[in-house]
Amino acid sequence: MDRIEARISQLRKELDEHNYNYYVLNAPTISDRDFDCMMAELQQLEEQYPQYDDPNSPTRRVGSDINKAFTQVAHRYPMLSLGNTYTREEVAAFYTRVQSALQEPFTIIGELKYDGTSISLTYEDGVLTQAVTRGDGVKGDDVTENVKTIRTIPLRLRSNDYPRTFEIRGEILMPWAVFEKLNAEREREEEPLFANPRNAASGTLKLQNSSVVASRQLDAYLYYLLGEELPSDDHFDNLETARRWGFKISDAMKRCDTLDDIYAFIDYWDVNRKNLPVATDGIVFKVASLRQQKALGFTAKSPRWAIAYKFQAEQAVTRLNSVSYQVGRTGAITPVANLDPVQLSGTIVKRASLHNDDIIQSLDLHIGDMVFVEKGGEIIPKITGVDMDARILIGEKVRFITHCPECGTPLVRYEGEAAWYCPNDESCPPQIKGRIEHFISRKAMNIDGLGTETVDLFYRLGLIRDIADLYTLQESDIASLDRLGDKSARNIVEAVAASREVPFERVLFALGIRFVGETVAKKLAYAFRSIDRLAEATIEELTAVDEIGTRIANSVHDYFAHPDTTTLIEKLRTAGVQMEMKVEQLADRTDRLQGATIVISGTFTQHSRDEYKALIEQHGGKNTGSVSAKTTYLLAGDNMGPAKLEKATKLGVKIISEEEFLQMIAE
C-alpha cells in the first residue's frame, strides 16, 4: 500500500470512528472543526486519486447532487404491518392468544414504536449493500444512496462476528429539533410546511438529490434482525449484538415476563415519551424467541407474535385568535383555526383544522375561546371542543365566509355536501394550481421534478395556466429560473414528454373530475374506451356502468358539458396525451370473470396481490376487501387471514387456490 492509499485508509477509519462516537453514542471525542478538517482532507485526496474510490467512504455521507430515479426491489421477507390496539384489554387479549397458542413459557419484549418511515437494510460481509423502503410490503424503492447520508446507519460494521449476509429493519426519523428548524425555513420562504416529522422523513428519503437528503439530518433506530445465521434465538439478545456491530438500537427495550410488566412499560412511556427527541406513536410488544415467533406465524397482514399499542392522542388547550379559509383544487373551502402557539406531541401548534361549516356551528366557536386541540395523526391538528368555563368575555361568533377568499366569487353548497365550494374553477388560482399538482402526481401522470413550489413559480410567471401548458414548456424557458438550472429543466421537460405514454385510464384520473378517483376512472375508461365517447355519454349511459351512481354521472356529464373542457381536451390531444385505450390493452380484456366478486387473502408466489387485483379487473371481475354473501370466490394464498376463511366457509363461498385462479383466466 503506497503512502497516499494508506493516508486515505487511515482517514476513513478515523472518520468512521468519530462518526459513530458522535451520532450513535452521542459522545464525541474531537471538535467539529477537527472533524471537518479531516473530512475536507479525505475529499481532496479522493478527488485527486480516484483509483482509491470506495462507495462506502465517509465522504458519501454528504450526498450527491446527481439525480437518480428509484428502482423497485422485491423484499426477501415481506414487510408486513402490525395489528394495532388502543386499550389494555386488547393488549391482554393478545397476551392470552400467545399464551394459548404456545402452551409454554414465553417472554415479551417491549419497544417504542417510532413514528417515521420503515426501512430494510441488507449487509453483506459487514458492508451496507442495499436499503429498501417498505413500499407495498412485497417490494419497495431502492434508496441506498440516500440512506448512506444518514450518519447513524453504519456503512461498515464495527465487529467481525456478524453473519455473512443479513437484513436489519428499522425506522428512518426526523428529530423534532430538525423538523422545527426545517419548517421555520420553509415558512420564511413561503413554502408549504411539512405536516409532521413522519411525512418530512418520508418525503426526504424519496428525494432524488442525496445532497439535500444529507442536509436534512435524518436519524434511524433499528429494531429487528433477519437472516439464516443470526447470533441468537432471542430477539433482545440479537439487538444487543447489533448494537455492538455499530447500529443505533433504542435503550427503551425491556423484557416483560408478565402482563403486569407490560402494563408498567405502557404507564412509564405514556408519560416519558414526551421527553424524547423523536416522534413516537405507541409501543410494540414482540415475543422474544424467534422459534416461538415462527410457531405463531402470520395472518395475511401482520405477525401473530407482535402487536402495536397506540398512545391516545395528546390534547392541549389554547386560545382561538382567528379563522382563515383555504381553497382546494376542487374549489372546496377548508376553514383553519389560527391559535396561540402551544406545544403538542413535540411540535409547536399554531393552526388546527375546522373541517367545514357544520363543525364550526356544532362547536359554537367564538373568537377568543379557549379550545381543546388534539393531534392524532392528522395532517394538522383539530379542535375537539371549547372550554366553556374559560369563556368570560365572549368574542365575535365564527361565521363561515360567503365569498371565495382568493377570487371573491360567491360560494355554493351542493345538496348532500358538507363543504362550501368556489364555483369559479376557470380563474380561481388555487383551483388551477391544485389541478396541475393533481395532474402531475405519481398515481396520475407521474411527472417527476415538479412539485408545489415549482408549479406555483411557473404559474406566477405565466408559463402555465392549465395542465395542457405543461406540454409547451421548453428547457430554455425554465433553466434560468430560481432553484432550477439546466439539469433540472431537462429532467422536467423529459418527464413531461414521457407522460405522453401514460395510459388513458390514468389520464382520465389525472383530469381531476370531481368524484372520479382511480377506480372510477378505470371503470369509465374500459366502459367507453375513449375521451370522445365518454364526453358524449348520457346520464343513463354513465349510470349503467358498474358502481357509477347519479352523483358521479352528473359530475362527469357537467365536466364535459363545459366549453373550456373541450378546448383543454383538444390541447392535450394535440400534445400527444393518450385519449383512448390502446388496442393491446383491450385485446387482453376478457369476460372470463364477468359477474364474479373476488376477495384476495394471503401471500402468493406467482404474482403480487396488486397484480392479482389487476388480473381480476382485466378479466371482467370485481375486487372487494371483505367476504360477504355477494362474494363469488375467495382467492386464498399462504398465511391467509383466519377470519376471512371462517366467514367464507360459513357463507359457503368457494375458496380457490392461486393455481385454480390462473387456470380460470387461462386461454
C-beta neighbour count of 489 within 10 angstroms: 20
Q: 474: exposed, middle or buried (C-beta count within 10 Å: 0-12, 13-18, 19+)? A: exposed
Q: Are residues 8 and 155 in the same domain?
A: no
Looking at residue 26, what is its pLDDT? 59
In a domain, 395, yes or no: no
Looking at residue 557, what is its pLDDT? 95
Domain range spanning residue 636? 597-665
Looking at residue 430, what is its pLDDT? 93
In a domain, 422, yes or no: no
In a domain, 303, yes or no: yes
Q: Are residues 278 and 160 in the same domain?
A: yes
What CATH number is associated with residue 340? 2.40.50.140
In a domain, 380, yes or no: yes
Q: Are residues 497 and 508 in the same domain?
A: no
In a domain, 415, yes or no: no
In a domain, 74, yes or no: no
Distance between CA atoms of 366 and 398, rounded to whole angstroms?
A: 5
| Mean pLDDT along residues 35-43 | 79
CB 411 within 8 A of CB 422: yes
In one letter, which amino acid is 4?
I
Distance between CA atoms of 409 and 430, rounded to whole angstroms?
A: 13
Q: Are residues 24 and 58 in the same domain?
A: yes
pLDDT over 70 at 526, yes or no: yes
Phi, psi (deg, nearest 5) at residue 226? -130, 150
In a domain, 73, yes or no: no
pLDDT over 60 at 301, yes or no: yes
Written as nine digits, the cell of 479 is 433553466
**What is the domain count for the chain?**
6
Looking at residue 379, what is its pLDDT? 47
For 259-297, what is each residue's pLDDT tens digit? 999 999 999 998 888 788 888 889 999 999 999 999 999
Q: Are residues 302 and 328 in the same domain?
A: no
Q: Are residues 516 and 382 in the same domain?
A: no
Would you state the torsion angle of the CA atoms of residues 365, 367, 372, 375, taken in this order, to the nearest 10 degrees? 100
Distance between CA atoms of 213 and 63, rounded to whole angstroms?
A: 7
Q: What's the whole-model pTM score?
A: 0.53
Q: Are residues 258 and 186 in the same domain?
A: yes
From 539, 562, 586, give the residue that closes a domain.
Answer: 586
Average pLDDT, the chain: 87
Task: Give the residue from 489, 445, 441, 438 showing the smallest Cα distance to 463.
Answer: 489
Distance between CA atoms of 226 and 246, rounded to whole angstroms?
A: 16
CA distances (Å), 130 to each of 76, 82, 133, 204, in order? 12, 24, 10, 18
Distance between CA atoms of 624 and 643, rounded to whole angstroms?
A: 15
What CATH number is associated with residue 247? 3.30.470.30
Q: Are residues 47 and 152 in the same domain?
A: no
C-beta neighbour count of 22 within 10 angstroms: 17
Instruction: Using DSSP bridges, classify how beta strands 633-636 and 597-601 pair: parallel, antiparallel or unpaired.
Output: parallel
Looking at residue 378, what is its pLDDT? 43
CB 78 within 8 A of CB 138: yes
From 536, 565, 586, give the residue that closes a domain.
Answer: 586
Instruction: Using DSSP bridges, classify how beta strands 347-353 and 127-133 pair: parallel, antiparallel or unpaired.
Output: unpaired
Task: Give the residue from 496, 518, 501, 666 showing the smallest Cα distance to 585.
Answer: 501
Mean pLDDT is lowest, of 134-143, 233-242, 498-507, for: 134-143
Dihedral class, residue 261 (left if φ above 0, else alpha if ψ from -120 to 50, else beta)? alpha
Identify the H or E element spanning 323. Answer: strand 314-327
Q: Pick the catalytic residue: 113, 522, 523, 647?
A: 113
What is the end-to-end Cα distance of the chain in Å, rounded? 64
In one letter, which amino acid is 136?
D
Q: Are residues 231 and 117 in the same domain?
A: yes
Distance between CA atoms of 311 and 111, rounded to whole angstroms?
A: 13
Q: Are residues 114 and 185 in the same domain?
A: yes
In one letter, which amino acid is 210?
S
Compute the half-sphere exposure of residue 538: CA atoms within 13 Å on the CB side of its CA: 2
Q: Are residues 117 and 193 in the same domain?
A: yes
pLDDT over 80 at 316, yes or no: yes
Q: Which residues contact 112 (CB under 8 A, 6 or more apart)?
A: 250, 252, 269, 273, 276, 280, 282, 283, 284
Distance between CA atoms of 382 and 349, rounded to whole angstroms?
A: 10
pLDDT over 90 at 440, yes or no: yes
Buried b or exposed e, range 202-223, using 16+ CB within 10 angstroms: bebbeebbbeebbebbbbbbbb
Written as nine digits, the cell of 213 is 437528503
From 454, 486, 501, give the residue that closes a domain.
Answer: 501
Q: Are residues 203 and 326 in the same domain?
A: no
| Mean pLDDT along residues 552-576 | 94
DSSP type of residue 243: H
Q: Which residues contact 101 (CB under 8 A, 6 or more apart)?
A: 295, 296, 304
For 48-96, what is each residue's pLDDT tens digit? 888 888 877 887 765 544 445 678 888 988 888 888 888 899 999 999 9
In a domain, 413, yes or no: no
Q: Annotated catalytic, 294?
A: no
